[in-house]
Amino acid sequence: MGNRLYVGNLSWDTNEESLRMAFTQDGRDVKDVQILTDRDTGRSRGFGFVEMGSDQDAQAAITALDGAEVDGRNIKVNEARERQPRSGGGGGGGGGGGGGYGGGGGRW
């Protein structure tokens, strides 16, 4: 098991400090807390990641906090999975239009 945990169903009011406080209860060691935010609005996207100090702390945090209430919401805590690479390339460009000078030469 890894030390990095996914935390979902966060309240928009939850900040990194309040999340850290929830995870350090019972003496668990927290190395890093990150709440993801919307690029345009800066508002929380409702999930984040917590890096624990050890596998034991990570497992204890899952057991203690999965389904627990933080800032009025029952949070979801589980082991973070590695991000899968996005497959497939972008769509190809379309062919150009057949411009040019058309038409058969009219007679004078």
The tens digit of pLDDT for each residue in 40-78 reads: 999 999 999 999 999 999 999 999 999 999 999 999 999
Helices and strands, number each (H, E), in the chain: 2, 6
| Domains observed in the chain | 4-79 (3.30.70.330)
Residue 84 DSSP class: P
Q: If you average pLDDT over every residue of the chain, what do you get?
A: 88
This prediction's pTM? 0.75
User: Under a CB-based contact definition with an 8 Å cutoff, are residues 3 and 52 in contact?
Assistant: yes
| The pair of three-digit structure tokens given for residue 16, joined into one six-digit string | 């990194």
| The pair of three-digit structure tokens given for residue 81, joined into one six-digit string | 């999975």
Nearest to 62 by CA among 17, 9, 5, 10: 5
